[in-house]
A and B are shown apart, each in its own frame.
Chain A
Amino acid sequence: MFLYERHNDMKALTKKMFNKYKIHILVLIISAFPLGCKRLDIDNAPSALERGTKYKIVLKDNSGYMTTLYGNNLVRNAEIMIKSKMQGTEYQLTTDSNGVAEISGIISDDYIVTANRWMLPSEMKIISGVSRGDIKLTNTNARIITFSSHSGTEITIPMEMAIGSSPIVISEIYACGPPGAGLYYQDKYVEFYNQTDSVVYLDGLVVAVVFANYYLNIRYANDPDYVHTKSIYKFPGSGKDYPIRPGQFIVCAAEAINHKLVAPNSIDLSHADFEFYKPDGTGIDNPNVPNMIYIYQDSGNLWLIGGEGSAIILSNCPSDSIKPSGDQFLIPIKSVMDGVEYLQDPTRLDLKILNSSIDAGATGSIQFYTGKSMERKALSTSPRLILKDDNNSTADFDIILHPTPGKYH
């Protein structure tokens, strides 16, 4: 009874209210719609068309060399390589006598830019009075540049003076594990190469794995001064015990054994040059292969680098100058001779863990247990092998189907 009465009361009330306010309600309903649409954050189509912008790239020298030589700071005859982060498409450009290069018809993207202008010995003679050919102007501080209509049609890139490149470079990293052997991962290695025409020495050089925690989103790529690490080994020797000849490869293996015995699709690393043996670990120590000197590694029974993503550096920082910081160690960026980063998705440079002054890009896109390796590209193979070293792994590295320890593919 109560429900019935309540129902009738409600109906009467509704009828009364609607009768009184029917015009208002109608107006409210009609007006609510456009107001609602406004509230809905209706997007409008952008006016700028993809591939519709023509870009003018201007290189400006901060070293003063160009001003000394030509009266202005525009960098002429420089080679520019831009590579789309998203698609990997590369474009090669050369600046004209006004220090300008133009490009159009490219997709909007963050591009990894490498601009180099090698100074001629005759130019250096004028500038410094010394004729030398290992000086270049390069875009040390502007490696990733957005090309889009919003970033403007004129892109100015500052160029700094740099002295050549590192005599020893990381020439290959193999980290993913072989196919067809389950979760076997013990055959990782890193390879170094002397690309100078003189003997250099490995004694005391530090090899460190850059620290990051992808899951907790901890990374220190923006630290301008230090590389953060929790995995440090150094080459043995006290000065000139371990030479590396011009054009020689050095293989440092996680375990210097013949992995083919366990994993047929793997590699024989029993003749590696060095072994990352962890004294408190469970790895096999090959007595015929000298061990890298263990300094610190926070976890794991073997020397470990990420199978799909990680970064490695080679530094000449004396091991006693490495600074502890909490549970990490800090290696000065200035001491880094070479560094390479690889990512599961190399387009996600926002997830980089290595400072872009060491490596502006990233190689990678290798899956676990595929037997693939990352190898530095060759600039020339004759009269001797010269590897590409623009401090930009996106452009400097190729993915090869099989690892090639101690040689170039």
Chain B
Amino acid sequence: MNTFIKIILLTLFGSYCTFAQVLENYESNFNTLFDKKEKLNPYYFGYNPAWLGSEVSDQILYLKSEVNDETGDFRKFTDPGDIRVYTISATGKKLIDSTQIFRGSFSFKRTENNNWQWLFTRDYSSGSPFLIGDSTTGNSRYNGILMNAEYAARIYDKFDLGCSLRYYVDDGLKLAHPRPTSNDREINFSTGLAYHVTDKMSFGIQASVYDNVENIDYSQDLGALLSEIVLIKFRGYDNPNVFMMTSETRYSYNNGYSGGLNFLFEQNSEFTLTAFANGGFNKINVKDGGDQPIDEGLWKNNFFKTGLASLYKLNNSTFVSLLYTFTSDNDWAEFPEFDVLYSKNNTSEHAATAGLEYSINNSLTAGIEAGVKYTTINISDYYSNIFANNDAFKYLLNVGLKIKWSNRFSSFISAGFNSNSTGDNNIEYSGSSEYFTSYRIKDLYYSQAGYNEYLFNFINAYSPGFGGEFLINLNMSNAIPVNSTIFANQNRLNSTIALEYRVAAY
């Protein structure tokens, strides 16, 4: 018998394990109920790696394959017409001993930005106004690998120390002429400390730093020599710099720091309360020019996030939950050479969600979650002389059902409805060029558009009793604008299908 097949069979049968119950670890689109009940802790809420011990996965290997597709014309101008992301990952966790734990993952990720007009900037939605592209519309793809390692240890009686390292690299290529290429490298390091004051109450402190570099290259190859390239560099919503060039190199140095506090209170399994506050900044420093780079601009975002989540067990079959989050982003862009402010934007969002979960019997659990989100956005683009502000209410409703067909077969199904209604909208511009009035104004219209979103989630888990567990996850959402003449008869459909195989391979 082929050695490879022998190894596979040995792995499958050697890893013979019985899962007491399937569908104990899955990812629903609920915020505080079902799977999220186990995730009300600072590992998931405010990410402090010191709480790695509260991460819900088992000491098994998770092999996952996922395809996400987002398509439709209800989108910003800068968004690709179709985004398709393929991910294959392997994740595992291991208790090294009673005081140490390690979790690691390795993923391959392919992102296809299809029907993408003009842009070839990987982080086009970061908020930075410094975007580069060319006159062609085409498909771009990014192939990358992601490695993630997390470690936590009990360093002293009541103290846990954790850290995580995320490393990602990819290379990008626009398939249409002039075929620019990009290289991206991202490193993110986080560390956290947890102090367990009592068995019920813990505090934590956490800090993280990341450093990314993206290099976009329009090279002067033979193809570029024989046909014309129009390079477009945006520094705001309007007045892009347009060049007839055959070569250009852009370096984006992207780094950020954040720090935060965590809190967790657990009273047996009756009541759980967790909270976090996190602040920091991201900045992107953009330079153009191959051997003699010059400043293109600096973008910086100061952010603050805080949240509070609680879960109360009314009785053995009923849980109620409450979630509140607040996020604030204040970003600005400047041209360093002249120390002049190009743009200044403020975004804040309050979100509150309440939920109720009820176990009808051992096999059937139902849940409902309702929430409201209030968002305000103020955009001041001094460079382009464009100003916009709006506020929006978003109402959301989720209903879900978890069905345990047998000890080997379980399902989860949920449906949701979001209604996004905008309040006072305002866009001020005058003397703008066609680049804004025909194209990028759509970015602002999009952020001010009211829409309804329909969500559907289906998860099915099956364990044949040997060889592991299989899980399939289907997630769909469809956003349809309401009362919009700009986006009339358009939509944005997002669908994900994931197949996961879980096996006790070690």
Contacts and interface: CB of A to CB of B under 8 A. Distances in A.
B334 A344 contact: no
Nearest to B281: A42
Interface string B323-342: 00000000010110011111
B257 A150 contact: no
Given A149-B338, A308-B246, A367-B228, 20 more contacts: A14-B156, A18-B156, A19-B156, A43-B283, A43-B298, A45-B344, A48-B340, A50-B342, A105-B385, A146-B338, A149-B339, A182-B226, A345-B245, A348-B294, A365-B244, A366-B244, A367-B246, A368-B225, A368-B226, A369-B227
Contact of A148 (B239, B289, B340): B340
A351 B245 contact: no
A52 interface: yes
A37 interface: yes
A108 interface: yes
A309 B34 CA distance: 65
A385 interface: no
A4 to B, nearest CB: 11
Q: Which of A29, A351, A370: most chain B CB closer than 10 A?
A: A370
B304 to A, nearest CB: 14
A217 B292 contact: yes
Contact of B340 (A14, A22, A40, A50): A50
Interface string A43-71: 10111111110000000000000000000
B241 A150 contact: no
Contacts of A46: 334, 339-341
Q: Which of A146, A345, A347: most chain B CB closer than 10 A?
A: A345
A40 B228 contact: no
Interface in B333-380: 334-335, 338-342, 344
A163 interface: no
Given A22-B156, A49-B382, A86-B241, A40 B257 contact: yes
Contacts, number: 107
A299 B281 CA distance: 54
Given A47-B341, A345-B243, A108 B205 contact: no
Counting from the closest, the 10 A-B pairs by CB-CB distance are A148-B338, A50-B382, A108-B338, A45-B332, A365-B244, A108-B340, A46-B339, A18-B156, A46-B341, A368-B225
Contact of A344 (B155, B228, B246, B344): B246
B259 interface: yes
Contacts of B247: 344
A50 B163 CA distance: 42
Contacts of A148: 338-340
Contacts of A345: 243, 245
B257 A37 contact: yes
B291 interface: yes
Nearest to A180: B226
Contact of A18 (B155, B224, B292): B155
B340 A15 contact: no
A109 B239 CA distance: 13
16 contacts: A22-B156, A36-B207, A37-B259, A40-B257, A43-B283, A46-B339, A46-B341, A47-B341, A87-B241, A149-B339, A183-B225, A351-B292, A367-B229, A367-B244, A367-B245, A368-B225
A51 B385 contact: yes
Nearest to B257: A40
Interface string B209-227: 0000000000000001111
Interface in A71-98: 86-87
A179 B255 CA distance: 44
Q: Which of A45, A47, A344, A348: most chain B CB closer than 10 A?
A: A45
Given A47-B341, A150-B339, A52 B246 contact: no
Contacts of A2: none
Contact of A348 (B207, B244, B289): B289
A155 B281 CA distance: 37
Contact of A36 (B228, B244, B257, B385): B257
A320 interface: no
A107 to B, nearest CB: 7
B86 to A, nearest CB: 36
Interface in A7-27: 14-15, 18-19, 22
B383 interface: yes
Nearest to A146: B338
B228 A107 contact: no
Interface string A167-210: 00000000000010011000000000000000000000000000
Nearest to B99: A11
Interface string A364-392: 01111110000000000000000000000
Contacts of B335: 50, 108
B128 to A, nearest CB: 14
B300 interface: yes
Contacts of B292: 217, 350-351
Nearest to A42: B281
Contacts of A261: none
Q: Which of A40, A42, A50, A146: most chain B CB closer than 10 A?
A: A50
Contact of B246 (A19, A347, A368): A368
A46 B338 CA distance: 10
B493 interface: no
Contacts of B298: 43
A215 B220 CA distance: 14
Contacts of A1: none
B226 A369 contact: yes
Nearest to B331: A45
Interface in A96-114: 105, 107-109
B131 interface: no
B37 to A, nearest CB: 31
A30 interface: yes
B298 to A, nearest CB: 7
Contact of B241 (A43, A146, A347): A347
Contacts of B257: 36-37, 40
Contacts of B207: 33, 36
A368 B227 CA distance: 8
Given A51-B382, A217-B291, A344-B245, A29 B193 contact: yes
